[in-house]
Amino acid sequence: MTRLQTRNGTSISRLGFGAMQFGRTANESSGKEMFEHCVAAGINHFDTAYSYNGGASERMLGQILDANVDDLVIGTKAPNDRPATAGNLRAALDESRKRLGVEWVDIYYLHRFDAETPLEETFGTLADLQSKGLIRYIGVSNFAAWQIMKAQAICKAIGTSIDVCQPMYNLVKRQVEVEILPACADQDIAVCPFSPLGGGLLTGKYASGAAGRLVEDKTYAARYGQAWMHETARDLFALSQQLDIAPTTLAVAWVTWHPAVTSALISGRNVAQLQPSLNAMALNLSEEVYAKMSWLSPRPTPATDRSEETHSGTLGDLP
């Protein structure tokens, strides 16, 4: 399996930090504190996107990055609101690098599959940017397995490859286990999944009727609105009490347990909210506990990752 590395040769950390909340629910002070706690815990992987919060996420991350970015793996994504043409990709990458204050981006993802632009143009452009040292690894996010394989064939024909995939993956969103994870393993593509907590569902807070984005945000309400998902969350909370381990820690560790997963993305509004996820860095689930957790949800989950959102028009701001 491909091991992504920092520029100085250090392997990417088991967990990464997703900065989607930077400029939204996390201000510069809390963002800097979370960044420092992540680095202290051994995390060297930080992820953002051109489109997050109108560019605020990239700008804030750029303001708090250590000067020695050779020690980090920084990933960002192309815009999700325009075609992945050569001109758009080059202009967006220039803007992302400016916002981040870096000469290059370690991982540059396509944020979504673009059916309108020829893949030869899109991936030919990424290959050129890679050859010029402006990006180190080519990534795809929110791609189906067939889309990954179609793009990979084009990449190999022009002398490069897709290095990393960023799909949604958690205890109640397991469709990636059917084709995406096997395809990535077969093609030596690293996997850096997002949303290991299911939008907060798997933290246990909703079991007591707490408010949050699963209630307030229509995208997340649609994504995690099925009754069986909430039952799984309640069962996970009960198991966490038996094990005396926070459900958040268990949920994150469960995602990282899968052999195809390279670096799972965690996030938070502040250090207090982030800490239970950080604790998964030091937790190695036994096969018995992993199996118990896996039995809490259908395998595979009876819905593809994003089709229920696409069809209902609630895809919203893609992670």
What are the Cα distances from residue 230, in Å, to 200, 269, 296? Answer: 11, 23, 11
Looking at residue 303, its pLDDT comes to 56
Looking at residue 299, its pLDDT comes to 80
Residues 6 or more apart whose CB falls under 8 angstroms from that of 54 comprise: 23
Looking at residue 43, its pLDDT comes to 97
Query: What is the spatial distance between Cα 63 and Cα 174, in angstroms, rounded to a whole number?
Result: 35
- In CATH terms, the superfamily for domain 15-198+258-283 is NADP-dependent oxidoreductase domain (3.20.20.100)
pLDDT: which is higher, 109 or 315:
109
Q: Name which of 116-125, 136-145, 223-232, 265-274 the model is least confident about.
A: 223-232
pLDDT, tens only, 77-86:
999 999 999 9
pLDDT: which is higher, 205 or 246:
246
Residues linked to residue 5 through DSSP beta bridges, in sequence order: 11
- Across residues 207-227, what is the average pLDDT? 77
- Across residues 281-287, what is the average pLDDT? 95
Looking at residue 317, its pLDDT comes to 53
Query: What is the spatial distance between Cα 267 and Cα 170, in angstroms, rounded to a whole number?
Result: 14
- Residue ranges of the domains in the chain? 15-198+258-283
Q: How confident is the model at residue 219 (pLDDT cuts 50, 70, 90)?
A: confident
Residues 6 or more apart whose CB falls under 8 angstroms from that of 27 comprise: none
Residue 302 has pLDDT above 80, yes or no: no
Q: Average pLDDT of the chain?
A: 92
Amino acid sitting at position 50: Y
Look up the pTM and report it: 0.94
Residue 318 has pLDDT above 90, yes or no: no
Q: How confident is the model at residue 314 (pLDDT cuts 50, 70, 90)?
A: very low
